[in-house]
Chains A and B, each alone.
Chain A
C-alpha cells in the first residue's frame, strides 16, 4: 500500500546541508497500522510529509496505492500536531472542509460529518467554534476532518502530543475503535512508546542524524488493547522495554 524505497531527503542549511532522512525503507500493508517513533529531529515529520506528497524526496521512490507520489492525493489524509482548524468555522464546518475542497455535495458530507463528530464524543458541539472547544475537542474535530473522505491512507504526525495524559489515552482509545471499525492504512508518528504499543501492528524506530530505520518491531498483542489492562500483560511490558532499549541506543551518539 505504502512503499518507501531507499528514500533520502536533505535540506539546505547554513553550512552545507542537513540530511533529514538517509536511505529509508518502509512498507505498510493495506489496512495496517504502523507507528513511527524516534527522538525529535530524527526526521519523522519529514517522512510523513514525503508520503503525503507535500515534500519531494532528494532520492529514492515512494508509492502509495500503487502510484508514485508526486503531489498530495485525496485518498491520503493528513492529521497534524496542531488541530489547524479554521477559527471562523464551526466544528461541523471544519469537518466539511475536505468535502468542499473536493467539490462534493455538502448535504451528504454533513450526514457523515455528524456521525463522525458523534462517534468521537462531540455530539453536543457540532455548532461550536474552535475557541469554544478544549484542546482535546479541537483535535477530535481534526480527526473527524481527516476521516470524512474515508481516506485509504491516514498519516498522523504526533496528533495527541499537545494534550494532557488522560485526554491522550481517551483519544488513543477512540482512534483504536475507529481503526478497528474501518481499518485505513495508517502511519502514526509519536514519541510515546506506550501509544505506539497500544495502537500499532508494527513499530518502526528511527534513529537520528541522519534519520534511518533502526528497527521494525511487530506487536503481537490481541486487540482491542487498552492502556489500563494491557499494560500488565508480559508481552506488552516486553515490547515497551525493548523499544526503550532501542531508543536509548539510538540516542546520543
Chain B
C-alpha cells in the first residue's frame, strides 16, 4: 500500500499538472508559438528525433566530463586541504566565498579565453560544481566524532589505517551531499555555456529554435534537459545508496 502510494502519488501529480497545462492551452486558445501544448512538444520531438538526441548526447558529454573532472580534482583537493588543520582553517573561508560567486557570469569570458569549442563549456561545468564537492567533502572529512578518533588512537592505528578505515568512510555521506548538488549544477552549467556559445548541445537548440520561432522545439529540448538532469541525479543518488546504505539509516 505504501509502496503504491510512494510511486503513485508523484505520478498522479505529474499527470494532473500536464492535464491542467494542456487544458489551459485549449480553453484559452493559446497559440503553440506562445505556449505549446504537450502534443505539440511530442510532435516537435518526432519531427527531429535524431537531431535532438545528438544534441542531448553532446550536452551529456559536456556535463559528465566536467562533473568527472570536478569530482576527481575536488576530492583530491579536499583531502589535501584537510590533511593539516592550519591549511584547512586558512582555505575553507576562501572556498566558501568562491562557492558563492555566480560562476555562470564568467561564461562569456571563457569563450574569450578558450574559443568556441567544447573547452569553455567543460570548464564552466567544472567551475560550477567543483566548490560544492570540495566544501562538502572537507566538511565530511573534518566531522569525525571525537570518540571515533580517540578509538583509533587507542588502537594504535597508523595514519593510513585511521584515514581509510574511519575518517574517509565517515565523510562519504557528506561527500555525496556535495555530489548531488554538483550534478544538478553541472547540467545548469552546461546549458548556460551552450546558450552563451551555441555551437552544439540542447542549450544551442533552444537558442536556434528561438531565432526560427520554433517554440515547440525549444520545449522539446527543455523537456529532454529535465529528463537528463533527473536521470543524472538519480544515478548519483543510486550510487550513494549502493556505497553508503548506512547513511540513510542513521540520519533517518
**Nearest-Cβ distance from residue A174 to partner chain B, whole angstroms:** 21
Least CB separation from B155: chain A residue: A101
- Contacts known (A131-B246, A131-B250); A86 close to B154, Cβ less than 8 A: no
Q: Flag whether A78 is at the interface (Cβ < 8 A).
A: yes
Q: Which of A84, A87, A88, A129 contacts B151 (CB 8 A)?
A: A84
Least CB separation from B166: chain A residue: A86
**Nearest-Cβ distance from residue B150 to partner chain A, whole angstroms:** 6
**Nearest-Cβ distance from residue B250 to partner chain A, whole angstroms:** 5
With A and B bound together, what is the CA distance between A101 and B147 in angstroms?
17
Instruction: Give the interface segment out of A27-35, A69-77, A204-212, A234-242.
Output: A69-77
With A and B bound together, what is the CA distance between A78 and B154 in angstroms?
7
- Contacts known (A80-B147, A88-B169, A88-B244); A54 close to B153, Cβ less than 8 A: yes
- Contacts known (A88-B244, A131-B249); A101 close to B150, Cβ less than 8 A: no
Contacts of B89 in A (CB 8 A): none
Contacts of A101 in B (CB 8 A): 152, 155-157, 161, 165
**Nearest-Cβ distance from residue B239 to partner chain A, whole angstroms:** 15
**Nearest-Cβ distance from residue B95 to partner chain A, whole angstroms:** 27
Are A72 and B153 closer than 8 Å at their CB atoms?
Answer: yes
Are B155 and A80 closer than 8 Å at their CB atoms?
Answer: no
With A and B bound together, what is the CA distance between A100 and B164 in angstroms?
12
With A and B bound together, what is the CA distance between A22 and B235 in angstroms?
58
Contacts of A54 in B (CB 8 A): 150, 153-154
With A and B bound together, what is the CA distance between A84 and B34 in angstroms?
61
- Contacts known (A54-B154, A72-B156, A100-B165); A86 close to B148, Cβ less than 8 A: yes
Task: Specify the main secondary structure of chain A where it touches its partner.
Answer: loop
With A and B bound together, what is the CA distance between A225 and B166 in angstroms?
39
- Contacts known (A131-B249, A131-B250); A73 close to B145, Cβ less than 8 A: no
Contacts of A97 in B (CB 8 A): 155, 165
Interface string of A126-152 (1 = CB under 8 A from B): 000111100000000000000000000
- Contacts known (A88-B169, A97-B165, A101-B161); A129 close to B246, Cβ less than 8 A: yes
Are B249 and A129 closer than 8 Å at their CB atoms?
Answer: yes
Contacts of B153 in A (CB 8 A): 54, 72
**Nearest-Cβ distance from residue A46 to partner chain B, whole angstroms:** 13
**Nearest-Cβ distance from residue B166 to partner chain A, whole angstroms:** 7
With A and B bound together, what is the CA distance between A53 and B169 in angstroms?
26
**Nearest-Cβ distance from residue B174 to partner chain A, whole angstroms:** 13
Contacts of B165 in A (CB 8 A): 86, 97, 100-101
Q: Flag whether A10 is at the interface (Cβ < 8 A).
A: no
Contacts of B247 in A (CB 8 A): 87
Further contacts, 18 of them, CB under 8 A, given A71-B156, A78-B151, A86-B169: A49-B150, A54-B150, A54-B153, A54-B154, A74-B155, A74-B156, A77-B154, A84-B145, A84-B150, A87-B246, A98-B155, A100-B161, A101-B152, A101-B157, A102-B156, A129-B246, A130-B250, A131-B249
Can you list 24 A-B pairs, Cβ within 8 angstroms, ordered by A? A49-B150, A53-B154, A54-B150, A54-B154, A72-B153, A72-B156, A73-B156, A76-B154, A78-B154, A82-B147, A84-B151, A86-B148, A86-B165, A86-B169, A87-B246, A87-B247, A87-B249, A88-B169, A97-B155, A97-B165, A101-B156, A101-B161, A130-B250, A131-B246
Q: Which A residues are within 8 Å of any B CB, using their own CB?
A: 49, 52-54, 71-74, 76-78, 80-82, 84, 86-88, 97-98, 100-102, 129-132
Q: Which B residues are within 8 Å of any A CB, using their own CB?
A: 145, 147-148, 150-157, 161, 165-166, 169, 244, 246-247, 249-250
